[in-house]
Amino acid sequence: MAANGILQLLTRAPAALTVAFLLLLGVSHGQLQFGFYSDSCPDAEDIVTAVVQNAAASDATILPALVRLQFHDCFVRGCDASVLITSTGSAAEVNNIKHQGLRGQNVVDDAKAELEDQCPGVVSCADIIALASRDAIAMTNGPPFQVPTGRRDGIFSNVRDADVLPDVSDSIQVLRSKFAASGLNDRDLVLLTAAHTIGTTACFFVKDRLYNYRGGTGSDPSIPPAFLSELKARCAPGDFNKRLPLDRGSEGRFDDSIYRNIRAGLVPIASDAALDASNATAALVAAYLGAASSSFAQDFVGAMLKMGTIGAITGEFGEVRDVCSSFNFN
């Protein structure tokens, strides 16, 4: 069966396809499964969803932040909630500059507290991150989907580990290499970049492209002149904390418009624009623009599920933290 066919079925009968799906992704342990907590904590997923809904009711910008939180977690040491650790002080992974502006940890903490009240020591912080990200996508008009659970929390967090994260200034060659190192291919790169269809970015991540391109004093010549003027008007020198939509004109709604903006050069951060700098990734962007929206949605779900298995700790390894910001042995 083609991967698209499997992903289409996943939204209808995920439990029946657990083994086939995990084998497709190369997960060898076989302990990630849909409905992992159905007996040990039956309301686990509903509790996470309710916490995310409550958080979004007071601050809708938390939704794209939760999706970013999962990416930052899974790309560093795998999906082990290492990004949540703060108890080790300045040595903790989260203090790496590449995690700058990361948000959503408080939502995970709130969900964890409720889960500990109902099912002590059962639901991992790593699973909460994955579930919260899934819910955030659905709540911004993205495709609803189920995620396999059963992850355990890691017992390491080191500030230098996050050096592997993609950077906004990375070339397309570097981006492809970093994704490949995590077992993700060009299609995954293009699809996961589409998460930027929701949310904003700080001018801090755009300033070099506007004023110090490649260490000089000019601007990135690939930015269309009218868009460059627009960006400079919103991000004057020193305005590092002002925010811009990642997907111009559609930052609050999950859709494929990010690809149109990439093709037109109307994206603020360089790593998004870089997708149009390689024949391989540019062809994929063009293909999704010409495809049915259901095809894009199914493939996006597949990339998210694939990312969610990177380095997943299962079985007797790792731990289930009592508090997400601290290892149990601290």
Q: Give residue-wise pLDDT tens across range 173-190.
A: 999 999 999 999 999 999
Cβ count within 10 A of residue 30: 13
**Lowest mean per-residue pLDDT among 88-102, 137-151, 280-294:** 280-294
Q: What is the pLDDT, as a whole number, of residue 164?
A: 96
Percent of the residues in the chain that have a pLDDT greater than 70, as a whole number:
91
Per-residue pLDDT averaged across 95-104, rounded? 96
H/E stretch holding 120 reads: none
For the four alpha carbons of 9, 10, 13 and 19, in that order, the dihedral sign comes to: positive
Name the segment(s) of the chain with CATH classification 1.10.420.10: 172-303
Per-residue pLDDT averaged across 29-39, rounded? 85
pLDDT over threshold 70, residue 23: no
84: left (phi over 0), alpha (psi -120 to 50) or beta: alpha
**Which residues are part of the catalytic machinery?**
72
pLDDT over threshold 70, residue 47: yes
Per-residue pLDDT averaged across 119-143, rounded? 97
- The CATH code belonging to domain 3-165 is 1.10.520.10
Q: What is the pLDDT, as a whole number, of residue 3?
A: 32
pLDDT over threshold 60, residue 6: no
125-139 and 62-75 helices, crossing angle to 10°: 140
Q: What is the pLDDT, as a whole number, of residue 330?
A: 59
User: Position of tokens 């995690």?
Assistant: 99
Q: What is the pLDDT, as a whole number, of residue 19?
A: 38
Closest by Cα among 182, 149, 144, 145 to 166: 182
Q: How far apart are CA 48 and CA 129, in angstroms?
A: 9
Alpha helices in 14-157, H assignment, sequence order: 18-25, 44-58, 62-75, 105-118, 125-139
Name the segment(s) of the chain with CATH classification 1.10.520.10: 3-165
Q: How far apart are CA 112 and CA 126, in angstroms?
A: 10
Q: For domain 172-303, give its CATH number from 1.10.3720.10, 1.10.420.10, 2.30.30.360, 3.40.50.2300.
A: 1.10.420.10
- Cβ-count burial of 55 within 10 angstroms (0-12 exposed, 13-18 middle, 19+ buried)? buried
- Say which residues have a Cβ less than 8 Å from residue 220's Cβ, sequence separation at least 6: 209, 210, 213, 270, 273
Q: How confident is the model at residue 13 (pLDDT cuts 50, 70, 90)?
A: very low
Mean pLDDT, the chain, rounded, equals: 90
pLDDT over threshold 90, residue 5: no
pLDDT over threshold 80, residue 221: yes
Q: What is the pLDDT, as a whole number, of residue 293?
A: 73
Q: What is the pLDDT of residues 247-267, one digit of tens each?
A: 999 989 999 999 999 999 999
Q: How far apart are CA 54 and CA 40, in angstroms?
A: 24
User: Position of tokens 């909630």?
Assistant: 81
pLDDT over threshold 90, residue 14: no
Percent of the residues in the chain that have a pLDDT greater than 90, as a whole number:
85
Per-residue pLDDT averaged across 206-214, rounded? 94
Which residues partner with 313 through β-bridges?
152
H/E stretch holding 243 reads: strand 243-245
pLDDT over threshold 50, residue 9: no
- Cβ-count burial of 173 within 10 angstroms (0-12 exposed, 13-18 middle, 19+ buried)? exposed
Query: Does residue 85 contact residue 73 with C-beta atoms inside 8 Å?
Result: no
Q: What is the pLDDT of residues 302-327, one digit of tens each?
A: 999 999 999 999 999 999 999 999 99
**Lowest mean per-residue pLDDT among 58-67, 122-131, 173-182, 208-217:** 208-217
Closest by Cα among 277, 238, 234, 254 to 67: 254
**Strand pairing class (243-245; 200-202):** antiparallel
Q: What is the pLDDT, as a whole number, of residue 207?
A: 95
Closest by Cα among 101, 103, 119, 143 to 240: 101
